[in-house]
Amino acid sequence: MRLRAILGTSTVLLGLPFLAACGSTTGASESSLSSVSVVAAFYPLQYAAQQVGGSAVSVTNLTSPGVEPHDLELSAAQVAEISKADLVLYVKGFQPAVDDAIAQQAADRAIDVTANLTLLAGDDGADPHVWLDPANMSAIGKTIASRLSSIDPAAKSTFTSGSAALTTAMTALTRDYKAALGNCASDKLVVSHDAFGYLAKAFGFTQMGISGLNPEAEPSPARMREIADFVSTNNVSTIYYETLVDPKVAQTLATETGVTAAMLDPLEGLAADSTGDYLSVMKDNLATLKVGQKC
C-alpha cells in the first residue's frame, strides 16, 4: 500500500522509525500498514470488503453502529480518511455527505457499488437498498475484488478466493430464503419504509411502505389510512418496523389494525449492541418473515 495513503504527509513520514518501533496511536500493527486501506460508507459495504479482502485489507466504516446512515454527517477526521484511502465504497445518492466528500477528495478512488446493478425505481429516484438481495451482494463482492486486484496485484488470489466464498455464502442464503418463503399465506410485505424492495422482488413479495425511501419522512394521515385499508383488505397479519428507526408509527398502525408488529432489519447498519453480521442478520430476517408471512 502506498505510504501516502497510510501516513498522509511527509511530516508524518519522518516519524516512521518511531512508529515501527512503538506502534501507532490507533493500534495498527506493522502487518496492517502493508494492507490496502478501504473506507466503506456503511455496514453492508464494510462486510463485503472484509469478506473479499480478508487480512489483505484494512476496512474503516464511516457509519458507526447504532447510527442511521441516511443521517450521517462526516467529521473532519472522516473526510481525511476518505482522502487517504486506497479505495472508497459507497452507494451514490444514499448519503449526500459521503457523495460530497468523495467528489472533492476521492473521485478517482471510489466505487459506487450500484453502478453495474439493475436498480429499482423509488419515490425519489432509484432505490439504493441493493444489499438486501444476496445476489446483489455477490455482484458487489466481484466488483470489489476486481478493483482490489488492480490496487494490489500480488494479493489477487486472496481477493478472488474471498469473492468466491462470498458468492457461495450468498447463493446458499438465497436458496434458504426460497425454500422457506416459497409457500406463504401472504405475499404482501408491509414495512415502515421502502427499504425492502430488492428482497421483495427476489423472493416473491409486494412491498408496501408506510414511508418512502427516506425513513425519517413522516407519513400523512391519508397515507396511514391507505396502509390501514391495505392491511385489512389483503389479510396482512404483520407490520414490520426496523432497527435504527423509531418504531412508533409502525407499532401504532399494527395496534390500530389488530395485527402483529415485528422487527425486520434493513441492514443499513448494525445496532450498537449487535454481535451479529450480515449473514446472521439476514438469517434472523428469514425467521421473522417465515412467521410474519405465515409460510
Same domain, 241 and 163: no
For residues 221 and 291, give the distance between their C-alpha atoms in angstroms, rounded to a whole number: 29
Query: What pLDDT digit, counting tens, does each position of 103-154 carry?
Result: 999 999 999 999 999 999 988 789 999 999 999 999 999 999 999 999 999 9
Based on the structure, what is the number of domains in the chain? Answer: 3
Same domain, 242 and 265: yes
The C-alpha angle 281, 215, 96, rounded to 5 degrees, equals: 100
Range of the domain at 21: 1-29
Radius of gyration of the chain (CA): 21
Sign of the C-alpha dihedral, residues 164, 168, 173, 174? positive
With residue 140 as reference, give the H or E element that holds it.
Answer: helix 134-151
Phi, psi at 210, each rounded to 5°: -65, -45
Q: What CATH number corresponds to the domain at position 64?
A: 3.40.50.1980
Using an 8 Å Cβ cutoff, are 127 and 213 in contact?
Answer: yes
Same domain, 194 and 168: no
- Residue 284: pLDDT above 80? yes
Using an 8 Å Cβ cutoff, are 187 and 204 in contact?
Answer: yes
Same domain, 98 and 231: no
Confidence class of residue 19 from pLDDT cuts 50, 70 and 90? very low
Residue with more model confidence, 24 or 172: 172
For residues 210 and 219, give the distance between their C-alpha atoms in angstroms, rounded to a whole number: 7
Of 210, 53, 28, give the one whose Cα is nearest residue 143: 53
- Residue 28: pLDDT above 90? no
For residues 28 and 8, give the distance between their C-alpha atoms in angstroms, rounded to a whole number: 15
Same domain, 55 and 168: yes
